[in-house]
């Protein structure tokens, strides 16, 4: 379970779906039994002392027209822990990792790396020349990443509950700007995973982050 400050106050906590019920019990122990109200993102818990907790369903478990309504904590947990077929796209500089996961299992995957020159301390014409070379290398790498997504993820798009991306937002945006990937772009979740340079182990670890329940906690004033 990890925690980070939230914009506007409070903190975001990432909770494994299987531990949500226990987390809610702890919240009730600390703040008193909360009132539970359904929201577009999942559930809002409001305790008598003023503390609140927003329980956000993970990608692919949303409350759209085809989804089952979530009215209480047991219903939320049932939806959160259900196995979903997720697409994963991690991109950063010259590295990309794509995969398809079902529940906690990675079904198919591919990792590709391409050399992108680092920054140089040289100045003047040499610096400009190296910068152009680096930009060209980065563009070529992202072009390869788009081709990889077309080959591996696009054929699966009709079966995916969501596409979860991670790494550098600009790199991911560039990959998904390829018109052929429009069906995948439409499945893209708001969540952007904070991951290091994509490798197979990083892709495997991203599954848990993609499935995590995000909880926004605000303590009493």
* Tens digit of each residue's pLDDT (9 = 90 or more) over 59-68: 998 644 445 6
Strand ranges (E), the chain: 2-5, 11-15, 35-39, 42-46, 52-56, 85-92, 95-102, 105-113, 162-167, 188-193, 213-218
Specify whether the CB–CB gap between 191 and 108 falls below 8 A: no
Looking at the structure of the chain, the number of domains it has is 1
Q: Which pLDDT belongs to residue 116?
A: 44
- Of 150, 200, 199, give the one whose Cα is nearest residue 176: 150
Q: Write down the residue that tokens 């391409």 correspond to.
A: 114
Burial class (CB in 10 A: 0-12, 13-18, 19+), 137: middle
Residue 124 has pLDDT above 90, yes or no: no
- HSE at residue 158, side-chain half, CA atoms within 13 A, is 1
Find the CATH number of the domain harbouring 29: 3.30.420.60
* Tens digit of each residue's pLDDT (9 = 90 or more) over 52-89: 999 999 999 864 444 566 899 999 999 999 999 999 99
- Enclosing domain of residue 142: 1-221
């Amino acid at each position: 379970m990890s925690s980070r400050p939230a914009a506007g106050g409070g903190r975001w906590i990432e909770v494994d779906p299987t531990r949500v019920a226990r987390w809610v019990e702890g919240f009730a122990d600390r703040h008193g039994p909360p009132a539970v109200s359904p929201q577009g993102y999942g559930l809002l818990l409001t305790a008598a002392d003023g503390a609140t907790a927003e329980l956000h369903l993970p990608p692919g478990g949303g409350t759209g027209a085809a989804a089952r309504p979530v009215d209480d904590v047991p219903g939320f947990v049932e939806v959160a822990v259900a196995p979903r077929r997720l697409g994963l796209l991690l991109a950063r500089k010259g590295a990309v990792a794509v995969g398809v996961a079902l529940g906690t299992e990675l079904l198919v995957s591919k990792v590709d790396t391409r050399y992108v020159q680092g920054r140089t301390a040289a100045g003047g014409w040499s610096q400009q020349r190296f910068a152009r070379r680096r930009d060209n290398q980065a563009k070529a790498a992202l072009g390869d990443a788009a081709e990889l997504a077309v080959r591996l993820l696009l054929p699966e798009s009709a079966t995916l509950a969501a596409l979860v991306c991670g790494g550098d937002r600009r790199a991911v945006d560039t990959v998904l700007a390829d018109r052929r990937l429009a069906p995948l772009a439409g499945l893209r979740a708001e969540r952007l995973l904070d991951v290091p340079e994509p490798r197979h182990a990083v892709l495997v670890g991203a599954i848990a982050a993609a499935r995590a329940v995000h909880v926004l906690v605000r303590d009493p004033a």
